[in-house]
Amino acid sequence: MPIHINKSVLIATIVSLIFSTFAQAQTASKDISINQKSRPKNIILLIGDGMGLAQMYAALTATQDNLRMTNCPNIALVKTFSDSDYITDSAAAGTAIATGNKTTNGMIGMLPDKTPVTSILKYAENHGLATGLVTTCDITHATPAAFIANVENRKMAQEIALQFLYTDIDVFIGGGYDNFTKRADSLNLIDSLLVRNYQIATTISEMNAINRGKLAALLYPKHPSKMSEGRGDMLPVSTAKALELLSKNENGFFLMVEGSQIDWGGHDNDLDYILNETIDFDKACGIALDFAEKNGETLIIITADHETGGLSLPGGELKSGKPEGKFSTGDHSAIPVPLYAKGPGGDQFDGLIDNTDIFKIMYRLFGFEVIKE
């Protein structure tokens, strides 16, 4: 018995198959494009500690609409809650950003059950990239510590300092010299760093004289001073020095830069303190953005670990550069924080994301391996 084929159905089926094949080819082509063309060789992660949207906009007002970070084309909002609390601290937030894992407030580089987890900085080291940390606080403080250490309590500063010796970090710049020398265990970690081929700098001029190799610049006994008390251009200059040294690695690099004291201005409910520190942090962002513009293979990510102070802006004037601020707390808040990105892979950051997503996206863009959700 002859088989009757409906020609209209046959034509429709063929057309459908053609379009389906074309769509699959387009999707495959897009995936290849993301993997090859949008993968950065270098990532610079800049964290304004305590910098919420209000802190950013107050600084934008004070600079009369001249804040470099706001020139980034890709923007997201970041949720910051920790495993233990609706309102995170810097230890848990730093751990989330650095490792992709939520943890209990106060813990560094560990899950709530005290299982150590690996940071993006250590993954970068393991894959042959150069790595660095720059901060305007003691280098063992919570945010930088989250990239280098695994400890139960953020107050374990001397143990955190010791764990710098367990890594192969190339450059670290900040305060905290005393935690490497005036120690309860009587160890002199400066000697240990020298044995590991680090060049030690205790002043900015000494730091600037170093043009190659590994650098440990511990520029202050404890924390650096405030901008208003004479710190000067330590952060942007240190950022430039770190980039100079790290960019010599042909495999690429990962650098974290922290504007630490925006947070302290929030705790003090001191708007001028916040403005000085945020504008200084933005200068470091400008150094990073200029480097990336010339380099062409660098992803810039600018964000915060949390908001501090519950700052609102009930008044102000952009023309005169005078914001007015009010605070609702002397502590952190749960308000999501902004994220700005520019460069290869920057379009992966959009919408409302979790702070753990920052690690996951960096990890994928570096191409280390596939992370299962």
Q: What would the pLDDT profile of 253-271 be if each residue is shown by its tens digit?
A: 999 999 999 999 999 999 9
- The helix or strand, by DSSP H or E, that contains position 253, with its residue range, turns out to be strand 253-259
For the ranges 2-11, 74-83, 298-307, the lowest mean pLDDT is seen at: 2-11
Estimate to the nearest angstrom the gap between the alpha carbon of 6 and the chain centroid: 62
pLDDT at 311 over 50: yes
* pLDDT above 90: percentage of residues in the chain: 88
Residue 188 in contact with residue 178, Cβ under 8 Å?
A: no
Structure tokens, 88: 């995170």
Give the mean pLDDT of 149-162.
98
Domain ranges (residues) in the chain: 1-37, 41-366
pLDDT at 343 over 80: yes
Residue 335 in contact with residue 8, Cβ under 8 Å?
A: no
Total Cβ atoms within 10 A of residue 103: 27
For the ranges 6-15, 221-230, 232-241, the lowest mean pLDDT is seen at: 6-15
- Give 44's contacts (C-beta < 8 A, 6+ positions apart): 243, 255, 257, 288, 291, 292, 298, 299, 300, 301
* pLDDT above 70: percentage of residues in the chain: 89
- The pLDDT tens digits for 32-91 are 334 566 799 999 999 999 999 999 999 999 999 999 999 999 999 999 999 999 999 999
Total Cβ atoms within 10 A of residue 32: 10
pLDDT (0 to 100) of residue 369: 73
Distance CA 294, CA 24 (A): 36
Beta bridge partners of 126: none
pLDDT-based confidence at 3, cuts 50/70/90? Answer: very low
pLDDT (0 to 100) of residue 38: 78
- The pLDDT tens digits for 190-203 are 999 999 999 999 99
Phi, psi of 178, rounded to the nearest 5 degrees: -65, -30
The burial class, CB within 10 Å (0-12 / 13-18 / 19+), for 137 is buried
pLDDT at 248 over 90: yes
Give the mean pLDDT of 122-137.
98
pLDDT at 152 over 80: yes
* Residue of 146, 201, 203, 156 whose CA lies nearest to 183: 156
Instruction: Please name the fold of domain 41-366.
Output: Alkaline Phosphatase, subunit A (3.40.720)
Beta bridge partners of 301: 45, 341
pLDDT (0 to 100) of residue 274: 98
Regarding predicted confidence, which is higher, 175 or 37?
A: 175
Residue 180 in contact with residue 221, Cβ under 8 Å?
A: no
pLDDT (0 to 100) of residue 9: 37
pLDDT-based confidence at 131, cuts 50/70/90? Answer: very high
* pTM of the predicted model over 0.95: no
Q: Point out the residues that are catalytic.
A: 90
Distance CA 239, CA 255 (A): 9
Q: Write the CA distances from 115 to 118, 121, 143, 148, 152, integer angstroms.
A: 10, 18, 19, 15, 10
Give the mean pLDDT of 169-178.
98
pLDDT (0 to 100) of residue 45: 99
Distance CA 303, CA 188 (A): 35
Distance CA 172, CA 153 (A): 21
pLDDT (0 to 100) of residue 14: 38
Residue 157 in contact with residue 142, Cβ under 8 Å?
A: no
Residue 304 in contact with residue 325, Cβ under 8 Å?
A: no
pLDDT at 23 over 50: no
Average of per-residue pLDDT values in the chain: 91
